[in-house]
C-alpha cells in the first residue's frame, strides 16, 4: 500500500528536482523556505543520505560537507577560543576554506548543519547571545549560568565580577564559580592588569569586536 504511494512521490520529487535542483544549491533563500516547509509537515530532509531528498535534490551532500568544514574550522581554532566561536567568524572561516568557486553558504545553512552534528556526541551546541549565536564545539558543560554570562560579555568582549553582580544580582561566589569554569575550559582569559576589576575576556568575541586589518606602518605608529 505504502510502496505505491512512495513510488508516486518519488516521481513527483524527481520532476521537481529536474526543474529546480539548481535553485536549491544556488539560492540560500530557497533553501530556507524548503527547510521550513519540510519542518512544518514533519519531514527531515537531512536525516539520512539515503533519503529521497538527499539523493534527488542533493541537499544532503551540501549540508553534510558543510558539517565537515565546520568541524575542521572549530578544531583548528579551539586552542585559541576554547571551543567557542561566533557564528560570524565561523561563517567567514568556512567561506575562506571553500574557495571562490564553491556555492554560497548562509548563516542559516551553518546552523542547520550544526544541528545535525550534535548527534555525533562532540558537544556541538548553539548558544544565543545578543542577536547572534556562539557555537560550541567541545563537550564542556555549559549551563544557564554560563550562557547568561556569555550573553553579558557579548557587548564588550569581556565581563567583570562587579558587572555580573550589578546586572544579574548574583552573589560574588556564584559569579566567580561560573567565571572560573569558563577559564578552566579555555573559553575565557583573565586580564588582571585592567584598571579596576579584573576582566574576563572571551577570545571567541575578539574578531567580531576588535579585529582590524592594519598595515605594519600603522601598527608601528600605534605602539607608544
Partner 1 sequence: SAKIVVHLHPASSNKEPGPFQSSKYSYIKLSFKEHGQIEFYRRLSEEITQRRWENLPAAQTMQVNKSPQAGRIRAVGIVGIERKLEEKRKETDKNISEAFEDLSKLMDKAKEMVELSKSIANKIKEKQGDITEDETVRFKSYLLSMGIANPVTRETYGSGTHYHMQLAKQLAGILQAPLEERGGIMSLTEVYCLVNRARGLELLSPEDLVNACKMLESLKLPLRLRVFDSGVMVIELQSHNEEEMVASALETVSEKGSLTADEFAKLVGMSVLLAKERLLLAEKMGHLCRDDSVEGLRFYPNLFMTQS
Give the one residue of 76, 96, 104, 120 binding partner 1; rule: CB under 8 A. 120
Residues in contact with 33: Cβ distance below 8 Å, sequence separation at least 6, in sequence order:
none
Q: Is 97 in the site for partner 1 (CB under 8 A)?
A: no
Q: Candidates 21-29, 103-111, 125-133, 152-160: pick the segment binding partner 1 (CB under 8 A).
A: 21-29
The Cα–Cα gap between 161 and 163 comes to 6
The Cα–Cα gap between 88 and 133 comes to 8
Toward partner 1, which CB reaches closer, 78 or 174?
A: 78
Q: Candidates 52-60, 85-93, 153-161, 202-210: pick the segment binding partner 1 (CB under 8 A).
A: 52-60
Give the one residue of 28, 51, 130, 198 binding partner 1; rule: CB under 8 A. 51
Toward partner 1, which CB reaches closer, 38 or 148?
A: 38
How many other CB atoms are there within 10 angstroms of residue 114's CB atom? 24
The Cα–Cα gap between 102 and 167 comes to 44
- Nearest approach in angstroms of CB 95 to partner 1 is 17
The Cα–Cα gap between 143 and 20 comes to 43
Q: Which residue in the block uniquely carries the three cell numbers 504511494?
A: 5
> x-or-dash pattern for partner 1, window 62-91, by CB under 8 A?
--xx-xx--xx-----x-------------
Count of residues engaged in binding partner 1, rule: CB under 8 A: 61
CA geometry: angle 129, 131, 136, nearest 5 deg: 35
- Nearest approach in angstroms of CB 171 to partner 1 is 19
Dihedral over alpha carbons 47, 53, 58, 59 (to 10 degrees) = -50
- Nearest approach in angstroms of CB 45 to partner 1 is 5
68, 73, 66, 69: which is closest to 28 by C-alpha? 66
Q: Under rule CB under 8 A, which residues in 122-181 are in contact with partner 1?
A: 122-123, 138-139, 180
Q: 140 near 123, Cβ under 8 Å?
A: yes
177 three-state secondary structure: helix
Which residues contact partner 1 by CB under 8 A? 1-3, 5-6, 8-10, 12-13, 16, 19-20, 23, 27, 29-30, 33-34, 37-38, 40-55, 60-61, 64-65, 67-68, 71-72, 78, 116-123, 138-139, 180, 183-184, 190, 215
Amino acid at each position: 500500500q505504502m510502496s505505491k504511494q512512495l513510488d508516486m512521490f518519488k516521481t513527483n520529487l524527481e520532476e521537481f528536482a529536474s526543474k529546480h535542483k539548481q535553485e536549491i544549491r544556488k539560492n540560500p533563500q530557497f533553501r530556507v523556505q524548503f527547510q521550513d516547509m519540510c519542518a512544518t509537515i514533519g519531514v527531515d530532509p537531512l536525516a539520512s543520505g539515503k533519503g529521497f531528498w538527499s539523493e534527488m535534490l542533493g541537499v544532503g551532500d551540501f549540508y553534510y560537507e558543510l558539517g565537515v568544514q565546520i568541524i575542521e574550522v572549530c578544531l583548528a581554532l579551539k586552542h585559541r577560543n576554547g571551543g567557542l566561536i561566533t557564528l560570524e567568524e565561523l561563517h567567514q572561516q568556512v567561506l575562506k576554506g571553500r574557495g571562490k568557486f564553491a556555492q554560497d553558504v548562509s548563516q542559516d545553512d551553518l546552523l542547520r548543519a550544526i544541528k545535525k552534528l550534535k548527534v555525533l556526541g562532540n558537544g556541538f551546541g548553539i548558544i544565543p547571545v545578543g542577536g547572534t549565536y556562539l557555537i560550541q564545539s567541545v563537550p564542556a558543560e555549559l549551563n544557564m549560568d554560563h550562557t547568561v554570562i556569555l550573553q553579558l560579555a557579548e557587548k564588550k568582549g569581556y565581563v567583570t565580577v562587579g558587572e555580573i553582580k550589578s546586572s544579574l544580582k548574583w552573589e560574588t561566589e556564584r559569579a566567580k564559580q561560573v567565571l572560573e569554569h569558563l577559564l578552566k575550559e579555555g573559553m575565557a582569559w583573565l586580564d588582571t592588569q585592567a584598571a579596576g576589576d579584573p576582566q574576563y575576556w572571551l577570545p571567541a568575541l575578539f574578531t567580531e569586536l576588535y579585529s582590524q586589518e592594519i598595515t605594519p606602518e600603522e601598527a608601528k605608529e600605534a605602539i607608544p
